[in-house]
């Protein structure tokens, strides 16, 4: 597989991806959306959006039918009185937070999440968070981050949230042995799989960010090495580096190859013998490769078009092209973090077309002209494309479904194959 990677690297040098930046209407959620998966992961945290009715409606609509008893998120809707200065917005916020914490005494960590309106009126949520922290500590820690659509796109909300958490992590003692931090929300089941593999490799201290509970924040310091599990964590990585931690460069753990390279990068950092590393991952990687083969006939040779959404597009495209022989027509991504994605870009087929940013109408024109076998897009575009005869896969499922690691590689392939299977089944 390394040989294969090297070949691709050569190809990429001779014919690197063609990256075009586009500006125009973006058809992507804002960072508030991340609350939907973050609040499930951080079980003792509460997310309070300080925003408008639009913000509340966005989260509710993106969460779809998943109406929980009383979710661990809510919106403090800014009213006319707040804007007209009739009510002091800070005093109002304090009142809402007190009300909320009285209702939800199980909360240990409260995030004040900034929105476009709160940012345009320059409501200082970091000062509010400090003030409220002083009031509610030690029971509740209050942090803030921006999930606004003017600052963040979809998954960048998670980045902003984790970056805010990094400042709260305890200091790892200078004398502490080297420890590994896995960064980016993963399903619990995947965390457990990864823990077992790291233990088998011989890496003992492994922590995850975000942790399952806010009371279990991992320590970080100069002896921390971190691996990104998600490709959208620019600010979090920068904050960790500011705390002395060092990033281990690697592709992302999507697909068999990506997962192997990801584990191998950690193994190299720990100077673990390559043969040992191989013996640890071999069984799982062979099983995963076998499971993938089932989906190959459905996907091989089929063309795929990615609309920008989660920033997972580049690693997904790499997986689908290299392990399932799909043809990449266009890989859209809201942002391209060239440094974090360097290893991914090197693995892409020669001259892959990447579009950073979006002009949705022109992109739709290109998609229609290309008539891909499968288009990966957001919920607003899926049915209209289907109605035009283009089969689609909702990109949001890639953030809600466990897809990382060996055991999920076939699930990921299946997610992409399902719309094609369905299309072949239907005779109406």
Task: Please identify, using beta-carbon distances, which residue of 96 and 248 lies nearer to other proteins.
Answer: 96
Q: Which does 21 bind (CB under 5 to 8 A by kind): ligand SF4, other proteins, none?
A: none
Token pair, residue 417, equals 């194959």
Radius of gyration of the chain (CA): 22
Token pair, residue 28, equals 């992507």
The answer to the question of residue 115 lying near ligand SF4 (CB under 6 A) is yes
Strand partners, 392: 375
Residue nearest to ligand SF4 (CB): 149
The answer to the question of residue 76 lying near ligand SF4 (CB under 6 A) is no
> By the criterion CB under 8 A, which residues form the site for other proteins?
24-33, 50, 52-58, 60-62, 64-65, 67, 69-71, 74-80, 82-83, 87, 89, 92-93, 95-96, 99-100, 116-117, 119-121, 148-151, 153, 361, 378-384, 386-387
| Candidate ranges 109-117, 175-183, 317-325, 381-389; the one touching ligand SF4 (CB under 6 A) | 109-117
Q: Which does 259 bind (CB under 5 to 8 A by kind): other proteins, ligand SF4, none?
A: none
Span 140-199, contacts to ligand SF4 by CB under 6 A: 148-149
Task: Please identify, using beta-carbon distances, which residue of 52 and 353 lies nearer to ligand SF4.
Answer: 52
The answer to the question of residue 310 lying near ligand SF4 (CB under 6 A) is no
Task: Please identify, using beta-carbon distances, which residue of 148 and 155 lies nearer to ligand SF4.
Answer: 148
Per the listing, tokens 């984790």 go with 162
Closest contact distance (angstroms) between CB of 385 and ligand SF4 is 23
The answer to the question of residue 292 lying near ligand SF4 (CB under 6 A) is no
Task: Please identify, using beta-carbon distances, which residue of 18 and 81 lies nearer to other proteins.
Answer: 81
Q: Binding residues for ligand SF4, per CB under 6 A?
A: 30, 32, 51-52, 54-55, 58, 115-117, 148-149
């Amino acid at each position: 597989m390394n040989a294969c990677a090297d070949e691709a690297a050569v190809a990429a040098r001779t014919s690197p991806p063609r990256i075009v930046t586009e500006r125009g209407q973006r058809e992507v959620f804002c960072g508030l959306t991340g609350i939907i998966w973050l609040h499930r992961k951080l079980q003792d945290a509460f997310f309070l959006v300080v925003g408008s009715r639009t913000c509340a409606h966005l989260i509710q609509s993106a969460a779809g039918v998943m109406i929980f008893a009383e979710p661990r998120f809510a919106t403090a809707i800014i009213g006319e009185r707040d804007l007209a200065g009739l009510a002091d917005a800070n005093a109002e916020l304090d009142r809402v937070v007190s009300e909320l914490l009285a209702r939800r005494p199980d909360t240990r960590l409260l995030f004040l999440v900034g929105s476009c309106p709160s940012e345009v009126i320059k409501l200082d949520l970091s000062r509010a968070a400090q003030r409220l922290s002083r009031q509610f500590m030690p029971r509740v820690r209050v942090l803030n981050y921006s999930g606004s659509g003017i600052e963040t796109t979809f998954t960048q909300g998670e980045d902003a949230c984790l970056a805010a958490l990094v400042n709260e992590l305890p200091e790892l003692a200078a004398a502490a042995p080297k420890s590994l931090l896995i960064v980016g929300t993963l399903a619990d089941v995947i965390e457990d799989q990864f823990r077992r593999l790291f233990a088998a490799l011989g890496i003992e201290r492994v922590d995850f960010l975000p942790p399952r509970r806010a009371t279990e924040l991992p320590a970080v310091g100069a002896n921390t090495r971190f691996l990104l599990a998600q490709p959208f964590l620019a600010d979090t990585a920068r904050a960790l580096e500011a705390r002395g931690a060092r990033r281990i460069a690697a592709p992302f753990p999507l697909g068999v190859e990506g997962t192997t390279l990801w584990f191998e990068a950690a193994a190299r950092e720990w100077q673990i013998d390559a043969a040992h590393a191989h013996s640890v991952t071999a069984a799982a990687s062979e099983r995963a490769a076998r499971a993938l083969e089932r989906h190959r006939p459905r996907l091989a040779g089929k063309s795929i078009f990615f609309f920008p959404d989660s920033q997972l597009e580049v690693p997904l495209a790499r997986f689908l092209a290299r392990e399932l022989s799909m043809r990449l027509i266009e890989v859209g991504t809201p942002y391209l973090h060239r440094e974090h994605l360097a290893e991914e870009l090197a693995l892409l087929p020669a001259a892959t077309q990447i579009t950073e940013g979006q002009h949705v109408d022109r992109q739709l024109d290109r998609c229609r002209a290309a008539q891909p076998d499968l288009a990966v897009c957001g919920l607003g575009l899926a049915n209209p494309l289907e109605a035009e005869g283009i089969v689609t896969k909702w990109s949001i499922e890639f953030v809600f479904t466990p897809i990382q690691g060996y055991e999920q590689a076939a699930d990921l392939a299946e997610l992409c194959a399902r719309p094609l299977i369905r299309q072949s089944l239907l005779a109406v």
